[in-house]
Amino acid sequence: MVKQVTSLGRSGLHDWMIQRVSAVVLAAYTIFLLGYLVCGPDVTYEAWREFFGCLYVKLFTLIAIAALAAHAWIGIWTVCTDYIKCSCIRMVVQSASIIACLVYVAWGALIVWGV
Amino acid sequence: MKFQVYRYNPDTDKAPYMKDYELDIPAGSDMMVLDALMLLKEKDPTLAFRRSCREGVCGSDGLNMNGRNGLACVTPLSELKAPIVIRPLPGLPVIRDLVVDMAQFYKQYEKIKPYLLNDEPAPARERLQSPEERAELDGLYECILCACCSTSCPSFWWNPEKFVGPAGLLQAYRFLADSRDTATAERLADLDDAYSVFRCRGIMNCVDVCPKGLNPTHAIGKVRSLLLKNAV
Ligand code: SF4
Ligand code: SF4
Ligand code: FES
């Protein structure tokens, strides 16, 4: 058993599952958004605003942002633990990436909820 | 036939270097790389490498030949393009020339407890298996621990002290799949971290090089499914 503190999930399986599930969510959201852009009305400020005013779109967007952050967290964590051997640099890069993920989630929520 | 062999003697050399050799090998010969190495050693007794069974059974002569890991004793010279470049297995510390320090590899093997664990009282004679239960171990028990797979695995290069590696994981599954083993839950708990199993990225270098034709990636997939089944 190898222990680590900066990973997102509690176990290897947990991380692995989050990575897969978040990928599916992101794929679904991408298709959803593309569908809107292709089949929906002309994208004007009003149409865009109305689209994001819908509660379900808001929720889906929030979930997608959270999925993106989780996906990035695990992905960057994995790349760091493969390639960055110096633990000081690794700590700094990992902390920065974790903070960035959290900030993006909070910021994204503020924007989406502000509509 | 031209050979380039990796040479390094830490007592006398400042850095490793490649040494050129030439051998007269008749065209169409069925010699193996190990035979060539033995001839080279007659010429140059300072050349160091490991070998024992010379027939692909003991696993001691895993080497990197023309960029590919394999057993020197079962790799025909006729399959390789000259000059034949022979290096030690990648990713492990070199002790001398083609001899590597396998400690890290064995440590990972030891970690997965490569022996039967059974807490039930022993029967009078032996623990029996049905032919089907025994068949579950095919493709797993044949591993000769040559380390060709683990030393071709990038995940093992980057984290040799944390990622169990294909050879160790193949054996982990060998004991998870054994009907006589009762420690499945403990074994799985020991493997469920971000490194031991999940560092495998499915690159399949291991499958590509295994001289026994085994498929560690498949076994790793099975371990992952067991972990998943165990969790839900
Ligand atoms: S799985 Fe194959 S390559 Fe790996 S140690 Fe066993 S025999 Fe060698
Ligand atoms: S499949 Fe997994 S264990 Fe095999 S070489 Fe690739 S990463 Fe390593
Ligand atoms: S010498 Fe035994 S496997 Fe090659």
Whichever domain contains B145, its CATH number is 1.10.1060.10
Confidence of residue A73 (pLDDT cuts 50, 70, 90): very high
Measured from the CB, is residue B58 less than 6 Å from ligand 3? yes
Least Cα distance to B171 among B145, B134, B152, B153 occurs for B145
B92 and B197 in a single domain? The answer is no
- Does the pLDDT of residue A61 top 90, yes or no? yes
B72 and B160 in a single domain? The answer is no
Min distance B198 CA to chain A CA atoms (Å): 6
> B155-194: per-residue pLDDT in tens?
999 999 999 999 999 999 999 999 999 999 999 999 998 8
Minimal-distance CA residue to ligand 1 atom 6: B143
Q: What are B159's two structure tokens?
A: 């984290």
B48 and B112 in a single domain? The answer is no
Using the 3D structure, point to which of B31, B65, B100 is the last residue of a domain. Answer: B100
Task: State chain A's mean pLDDT as an integer.
Answer: 90
Q: Tell me the mean pLDDT in the region A34-46.
A: 88
Dist. CA B89–CA B160, nearest whole Å? 14
Using the mean position of ligand 3's atoms as its centre, give its distance from the Cα of residue B92 in Å: 19
> A86-96: per-residue pLDDT in tens?
889 999 999 99
Q: Tell me the mean pLDDT in the region B190-210.
A: 94
Using the mean position of ligand 2's atoms as its centre, give its distance from the Cα of residue A53 in Å: 47
φ and ψ at residue A40, rounded to 5 degrees: -75, -175
Dist. CA B73–CA B98, nearest whole Å? 14
Query: What pLDDT is attached to residue B230?
Result: 87
Q: Tell me the mean pLDDT in the region B9-23.
A: 95
- Does the pLDDT of residue B6 top 80, yes or no? yes
Query: What pLDDT is attached to residue B184?
Result: 95
Largest CA distance in chain A: 55
Name the one residue in this structure whose structure tokens are 């083993």.
B181
Q: Tell me the mean pLDDT in the region A26-43.
A: 91
- Does the pLDDT of residue A3 top 90, yes or no? no
Range of the domain at B54: 2-100
Q: Using CA coordinates, name the residue in chain A closest to B194.
A: A12
B187 and B198 in a single domain? The answer is yes
Task: State chain B's mean pLDDT as an integer.
Answer: 95
Using the mean position of ligand 3's atoms as its centre, give its distance from the Cα of residue B213 in Å: 15
Residues 6+ apart with CB under 8 A from B219: B139, B140, B169, B170, B172, B173, B174
> Looking at chain B, how many residues does it have?
232
Using the 3D structure, point to which of B100, B120, B148 is the last residue of a domain. Answer: B100
Measured from the CB, is residue B189 less than 6 Å from ligand 3? no
Supply the pTM of this predicted model.
Answer: 0.89
Query: What pLDDT is attached to residue A115?
Result: 74
B96 and B107 in a single domain? The answer is no
CATH of domain A12-114: 1.20.1300.10
B80 and B111 in a single domain? The answer is no
Using the 3D structure, point to which of B67, B100, B133 is the last residue of a domain. Answer: B100
The answer, for A97 touching chain B at a CB cutoff of 8 Å, is no
- Does the pLDDT of residue B204 top 90, yes or no? yes
In which element (H, E) is residue B221 found? helix B216-231
- Does the pLDDT of residue A10 top 90, yes or no? no
Least Cα distance to A69 among A27, A115, A107, A100 occurs for A100
Confidence of residue A41 (pLDDT cuts 50, 70, 90): confident
Query: What pLDDT is attached to residue B124?
Result: 92
B172 and B197 in a single domain? The answer is yes
> B100-142: per-residue pLDDT in tens?
999 999 999 999 999 999 999 999 999 999 999 999 999 999 9
State percent of chain B over pLDDT 90: 94
Dist. CA B211–CA B59, nearest whole Å? 9
B154 and B211 in a single domain? The answer is yes
Do B183 and B116 touch, CB atoms closer than 8 A? no
Q: How many domains does chain B have?
A: 2
Query: What pLDDT is attached to residue A1?
Result: 65
- Delimit the domains of chain A by residue range: 12-114
Name the one residue in this structure whose structure tokens are 């999940």.
B198
